[in-house]
Amino acid sequence: MKIFVSITLAFTVLLGCAASNYQKAEKLYQNNQYQELVQSGVNCSDFSPECFQLKYYRTESYNILGDKNATLEASKEAIDRIGADTPLSKINYLYSLRTSLIREKLLSLKNETDRATTLRVLESDYREIISILMTRDMGENYQTEKTEYQIFLVESLLERMKLLSGRNLEILYDRILDLIRDFDPSLISEGYDKYTRCSSLRITNSGRFLFVLNRSHNSVACFIVDPITGILKMNQIIPTETIPRELGLDPDDKFLFVVGYENGRVASYRVLDDGKLRQLESRYIGKNPMWVLVTREEF
């Protein structure tokens, strides 16, 4: 009996401390005392709704104060405490804030390993929020939010494809196709089309390789063509000029040229024996180039 009473009293004290911390954090937050809130040491480690709210206040406070790393950490702690009764508006806010900060962080990362790791974290967050939105009773506004998260997820996968080769590249490409099949039919009208605009394509004279420009992704997608079935196999995705408008192959299929409509540059590539491209150079040729014509000049 004494042991039971002691445990009960200890649990009651813990709950009282958690409630006290929450009330203190709420008061500081409502009074716009964000610096005081994060410096006060008010925190929690349980998974109660009150602890989620406290973590939510800390996330917003760090964000308002401009501490991006602390915001990312606090938002993850809040997300880990999402429950069945957590308002969808707060869940969406946390994921929207977190993913936007991660995308911003990606811009400063040059190391390929760091970029790949960060992209995996981003993809995981997108999948989580998409799953939450699909399993909850959401209104029309959140249907649009889900659509945007799906678009961003595909974009992050496309970005990671630039860092891969061989079998890994093909696996990720298949994963993107699976995602697109699950898209809502309204997705194109919500803006998906602007992320998947193909501007031009060319097939080599041998019929072995196909090259496709994506003007929104600023890339060249390289495919191997099955000589019997005509089925395409993803081979490479390589960055190219801004808003690529047109591409051209030389008559011997040894070189490929791409012009960027926005930056007025032409990029040249060597077509390797396996159908992949290796960039040679990029130079400015004039404003808004539209076409490429490669000819053989006889001497």
CATH number of the domain where residue 124 is located: 1.25.40
CATH number at residue 251: 2.40.10
The CA distance from 254 to 252, in Å, is: 5
What pLDDT was estimated at residue 187?
A: 55
Together in a domain, 49 and 179: yes
Q: In terms of residue numbers, what domain contains 72?
A: 22-192
Together in a domain, 168 and 35: yes
Together in a domain, 95 and 177: yes
Together in a domain, 41 and 185: yes
Look over the chain and give the mean of its residue pLDDT values, rounded to a whole number: 82
What pLDDT was estimated at residue 139?
A: 62
Nearest CA-CA partner of 239 in 217, 222, 260: 217
Which stretches in the chain have pLDDT values below 70?
Answer: 1-19, 137-141, 165-167, 181-197, 216-217, 298-299
Any domain includes 293 = no
Query: Over the stretch 93-150, which tens digit does the pLDDT of each residue have?
Result: 899 889 989 988 988 888 989 999 999 999 999 999 989 988 876 666 677 778 778 8
What pLDDT was estimated at residue 15?
A: 45
What pLDDT was estimated at residue 195?
A: 46
- Hunting for tokens 């958690």 — which residue is that? 18
Any domain includes 295 = no
Structure tokens at 287: 């404003």
Together in a domain, 158 and 226: no
Domain boundary among 164, 192, 220: 192
Together in a domain, 62 and 171: yes
pTM of the entire structure? 0.60
Task: List, in sequence order, every residue forming a beta bridge with 260; answer none if it has no partner.
Answer: 244, 265
What pLDDT was estimated at residue 140?
A: 61
Domain boundary among 166, 192, 218: 192
Domain boundary among 138, 172, 192: 192
Pure H helices in 164-205: 166-181
Any domain includes 213 = yes
Fill in the amino acid letter for 257: F
Together in a domain, 157 and 274: no
User: Which residues in 218-241 are b (16+ Cβ under 10 Å) and which e?
Assistant: bbbbbbbbeeeeeeeebbbbbebb
Under a CB-based contact definition with an 8 Å cutoff, are residues 221 and 234 in contact?
yes
